[in-house]
Chain A
C-alpha cells in the first residue's frame, strides 16, 4: 500500500484501516496498544505502517491496556504525539489511568471501538464501555460513519494539543457495525493535513535541562482548585472544538456540529441517537416523513463537553423526545444519555416530554422498523401520562 491514499479520491476501505491512516497522516509519534476486539484492525495496520517505515513512530506492544495508557502518559510526558486505541474490557482496565491522563492534562488521542461489557461476554457493539467511562474528564466525540471516523481522528489531535485545551480526546466509533465496515472514503492530502495540524509543541515535558515535577499529590487545600481548573478547561474546550471543526469545514467542505439535526423543522416528535445508529434512524425518519408523520432526528456528536445550549435549541419546539440509549444504567433512572438529556432540559420552562428506549445492547440488530415500533409505543406511553420510566426494547419472553 502506498504511504497514504491520494487526495479527494473516493476509495473503498475498511473503517479501522481509515482510522489508522488518519493517525499516520496526523504523524503520531508514539503508540502503545494491546489487542482487543474489535479495535485490533486499527493497531494491526498501524504496526504495519510503522514496520514498513511509512509512519515515523515508535510502537510499544504492551502487556495490558492498563500499561498501554500508562505508557501513553510516559510518551506524552516525554513530549511525543501519542495515540492508542481500545475497546470494552480494555477501556475498563484502563479506567484508573483514564482519570490520571486527563487530570495531568496529557493530549493523548484514543479511538474507542465501542463494545458491550462482560458479563456475559459479548464482543459486539453497544455503548456500555464508554458510558461507564463518562466522567473521566476527556473530550469525547461520537462518529456516525467511516468518513467521520477519519476526519475526527485528525481533528482530535489538533483539539487535544491546543495549549488552552491540553486534554486527552476519545473518538468513539461503534465496534464491528462501523469499525469493520468497508466504506467509500475521501482523504485529504498529507500537505493539507500538515498545514492543518502542525507538529506537537509540548508546553511542559520531562527535560533534565528544565526539570518539573509531574503528578504530585494534593492536600485537601488544593485538590478542589485543581479539579475546578480541569472543569473550566473542559468546558472552555467547546469553543476550540468548534473552531477546529470550522477550519476542517473550510478545508474539506465537511461541517460538523455538536448536535446534528435531520428533518427537525416542524417536527413534533424527535428521536435522539448517537454514533452509527444515527444513519439507521435517518432512514426510519425519512420513511415516517413520507407517511406524513411530523418526526425528526437529533444526533448527539459531542458527548464531552456536553453541548447544553445546542441541545436545548435543537429540541425546544418538539412535544416528545425519544432518547435511544445503547447502554443501561443498572438500577438507575434509565440510560445514561437520557439522564443527561433530561438534566439538560429540566431548567427550561417549555420542553418536550422524554421517553427512554434502550436498544441494541450487546450487538442486537436495530433495523429501521424498530424506530417505527418505538414511535408507536412511545406515543401510547405519553398519552397515558408521563411515566418517567425507561424501556429495554426488544426483550423476549
Chain B
C-alpha cells in the first residue's frame, strides 16, 4: 500500500481520531496529481450558463478548447453560451501584446452575434504580457453601447474559489442596472444553480407553485436582462456555498437583500429549502402550498425510492466533490438509501465545512481535502466501497478498481436536484451497484501500491 505523502497528512482526517484542525484552502502540493482546476475554470463554469452573453476567452487556445460546451447547462432560448470564443493568442501577440487583437475580436464578434453583454476572461499569461483588458473592455463598451465586462481570472492567481469570486464581481457589474418597478414583494433570485439537465427549471417551478416570483436565475438558464433586475428581489436563495456566496453578500450590503443557504439535493434538503423560503416570507399561504407540494412530490417518488433501497442498502460509498456543500446532501441521500459513506472529500472545502462534515458523518469516516489519485485509490480499497461519487476525472479510477461510479458533477446529463432528481440519483446508484459486471471482477485481488 503506498504511503500518504508526508506533506499531505494534515489534509486528511479520520472521524473520531482526536481533535485537530484540518488544513485546507492550501495551494496544491507541487508535483502531486491534484484533481483541482484553476481560477479561470472557476469563473468560466459559473458564468458559462448565461445564455445570451458572449463569452470570450483571452489567451492561447487551450483554455478555450477544453471548456467548449463543457457543462450540461441548458438554456430555454439562446444558445450562444455553448460556443467557444477565444482570441487564440499566438507567439507574435505574446511578444507585442494582445490588446489590439482583443479589441478586434470583440468588435467583430459583437457585430455578428449581437449578444446582450460580453464577458472577457483573462487566462494565465494575459497579466504577464501586460494587457490592459479593463481598458479595452471600456473602450469597446463606449463604442458599442454594450456592457463588456472583464473577468480577472488568470489561472495561477489562486484556486478555483478565487475564480468564483471573480465571477461574482463580474455579475455585480450587471446587478442593479435594470428596471425593478414591477417586481412582486414575494420574489427571490435563485443563486448557484446551473440548470444542469434542467434543474433550475424544476426549482423555479416549485417556487412558482408556492406563489413566489423568481426574478433571476444566476446563472442557470441565465439572461443578462434578468440579472440586471436581480436587486429587485426580496431574497437571495443560495445554493453551492462556494460559488455564489460572494454575490449574495455583496447584494446584502449594497441593496439590503438577505440571503439563505439551501441545497436542492435529496428529499430532506429540498423540502427544507422550500420551507425555509416560505418561512422567510412569513406567508401562511406560501407555507401551506410548500407543504402540499412537498407531500405530493414525495408521494410520487417514495415508493420507487423504497424499492431501490431494498436492493442497495448495506452498500458502502466514497464521495469526492468539487465544493463541500454538495457532500452533505450526498451523505444524507445515500443514508436514505441505506448506504453508508466511508470516506468523503472535496477539492475546495473550508475549515468550517470539514468540521460540520465531520459532525455529520458516521464514526470512522475519512475526511480529505484536495485528494490526489493515489489517495482516492487507497481510500477506495481500504474502505472496500461499492460506489464512488465524483467527477469525470474520478470515474476511470473507480472503474479500474472494479467499483461502481456516479457522476455528480456539472458534466452530467441527468438532473439530480429536486424531488425528481433524488429519484434519478437513486436510479443511478442502483444501476451502478447492482450491475452484474462487478461479479466478474475480484476487487480484493487488485493489488494497489508498491506491493
Q: Do A and B come from one complex?
A: no
* Residue positions of B touching A, CB distance < 8 A: none
A contacts, CB < 8 Å to B: none
